[in-house]
Amino acid sequence: MKTVFVKKIYIAAICAVLAVVFLNFYQKEIKNGFYAMSAPIQRFFWQTGTKTSDFFATIYRIKQLKEENERLERKNLELLSEIVFSEELKKENEALRNILDMNPRKNFQLIPAEAIGKDIGTDSILINKGSEDGVFPGMPVITPQKEILGKISGVYGNFSRIVLISNQTSSFAVKVLSDKDISGLVRGKGNFNIFLDLVSQGSELKEGDVLRTDSAGGSYPAGLLVGEISKVKKNDAEPFQQAEISPFFNIRKTDVLFVITNFFPYSPNE
Amino acid sequence: MSLNPAPKMKFLGSGFESWLKGAAFVAFFYFLAMLQTGFLVHFAVAPAIFPNLILLAIIIINFLESPRAGKGFFGAIFGGFFWDIFSQNPIGFHILILLTLTALMKIILRKYVRFSSIRYG
């Protein structure tokens, strides 16, 4: 009796191993099929979740809304004046490029996509564009406001997975958006958190400094908005400064995303 | 003195009813995965802590059923399968983890822990 039982266990185990091997051999097709089947339901849950969380967030933050409104109005006015200054600089830049006969700056080629779900347990999301739409691994993904979200890590037929910048495996070079030449490395901490590392001790970081991507490292194109420094951690015993960052991207308010298709990340093997 | 043989581990019964129960079980875990990946992303239990419904469901099922019953294993297989489908991991990764967790819980509940307030069917 015991031998028969043990035999059954062995057969079940072998069948299980074969099933797992088979499933992993066709993993991409199986996952693509499930995502295609689940996309309408996931999209419904995602949109319902966004609306519900906005509703509760509004109630929770009613007191702070007035102060935030005033702060944003002030910031808006500051930014308007910066826009005017930037427009002048842009015209000057174009004129100089023409004089020096330099190539014009390329605009990004973008594919619009929608977020339909988040992976369980990791900072990655699923979008509804895949290899059939011209998406390839390594392509950066941004919001309409040119805030960096992450990059494509896995591609299926009609869906792709984006590793967010807050994923613990993510790191990329950034610069502080100011006249000071301060650069560092942003690393993901998980749970939508990121922090700034490898900033030299001599640099003057302050709360509110805005970070943008840097082309050094080659992961992302330069100039995309990353976040704002919320807390500086300076310890003279450490070789580098660190800072906590409030990222600009908000996964809960991400309806439309754009995949940049004409940027190719640097690969050390090339 | 008579020796009663150990009762056989029960799964979902037999016949059409068991297929129906099985299908409902699979649909339940599929629904949990949809809820987890689509709806609960927008809510955190505490700052940056998001609940894992599949793991919670497996633990609760194992606590509430008899240590000799098999629904926990069934749940671990399908809960782990949907967890792997909606993540970057290869299929089988979380199935193995949840099966191991279920087996450990069953051993502990059978040999070392008994809840007097829970009566198993």
Q: With pLDDT > 90 as the criterion, what percentage of chain A qualifies?
A: 31
More confident position, A121 or A266? A121
pLDDT at B99 over 70: yes
pTM (predicted TM-score)? 0.74
- Residues in CB range of B114: below 8 A, 6 or more apart: none
pLDDT score of B88: 85
The verdict on B22 touching A (C-beta cutoff 8 Å) is no
CB of B83 within 8 Å of a chain A CB? The answer is yes
Q: Which of B37, B42, B49 sits opposite A120 (nearest CB)?
A: B37
* Nearest residue on chain B to A16, alpha-carbon basis: B92
d(CA B83, CA B81): 5
Q: How far apart are CA B26 and CA A34, in angstroms?
A: 14
CB contact under 8 A, A161 and B95: no
The predicted structure's pLDDT at residue B104: 92
Q: How many CB atoms lie within 10 A of CB A262?
A: 11
Instruction: Nearest chain A residue to B77 by CA: give it.
Output: A16
CB-CB under 8 Å, A48 with B33: no
Hey, are the CB atoms on A252 and B86 less than 8 Å from each other? no
H or E element in which residue A34 lies = helix A27-60
Query: Using 50, 70 and 90 to split pLDDT, how confident is the model at A236?
Result: confident
Give me chain A's average pLDDT, please: 84
pLDDT in tens, A8-49: 888 888 888 888 888 888 888 889 998 999 988 888 888 888
Report whether pLDDT(A269) > 60: no
Among the partner residues B41, B54, B92, nearest to A118 by beta-carbon distance: B41
Nearest CA in chain B to A162: B88
In degrees rounded to 5, what are phi and psi of residue B117? -85, -10
How close is the nearest chain A Cα to the Cα of B116, in Å?
32
**Per-residue pLDDT, B49:** 64
State ipTM.
0.76
Backbone torsion region of residue A101, taken as left when φ is above 0, otherwise alpha when ψ lies between -120 and 50, otherwise beta: left
Q: State both tokens at A194.
A: 């990121």
Among the partner residues B39, B43, B86, nearest to A120 by beta-carbon distance: B86
pLDDT of A270 higher than 60: no
Residue B116: pLDDT band with limits 50, 70, 90: low
Q: Least CB-CB distance to B39: which of A45, A126, A192?
A: A45
State pLDDT tens for residues B17-43: 888 888 888 999 999 998 888 888 777
Reported as a single tens digit per residue, the pLDDT across A174-201 is 998 876 788 999 999 988 899 999 998 8
Alpha-carbon distance values, A160 to A64, A126, A133, A216 (Å): 37, 6, 10, 26
Nearest Cα to Cα of residue A138 among A114, A106, A172: A172
| Number of residues in chain B | 121
The stretch A148-152 carries a mean pLDDT of 93
Higher pLDDT among residues A237 and A104, named by residue: A237
pLDDT of residue A148: 92
Region A233-251: mean pLDDT is 88
Contacts of A30 in chain B (CB under 8 A): 85, 91
The reply to whether residue B38 touches residue A49, judged by beta carbons under 8 angstroms, is yes
Tens digits of residue pLDDT in B53-85: 899 999 999 988 888 888 888 899 999 999 999
Hey, are the CB atoms on B41 and A46 less than 8 Å from each other? yes
CA distance A161 to chain B (A): 8
Q: Are A227 and A248 in contact (CB under 8 A)?
A: yes
What does pLDDT average to over chain B? 80
Per-residue pLDDT, B31: 92
Q: For chain A, which residues lie within 8 Å of any Cβ of chain B, measuring from their own Cβ?
A: 20, 23-24, 27, 30-31, 34, 38, 41-46, 48-50, 52-53, 116-122, 124, 126, 153-154, 161, 190-193, 251-252
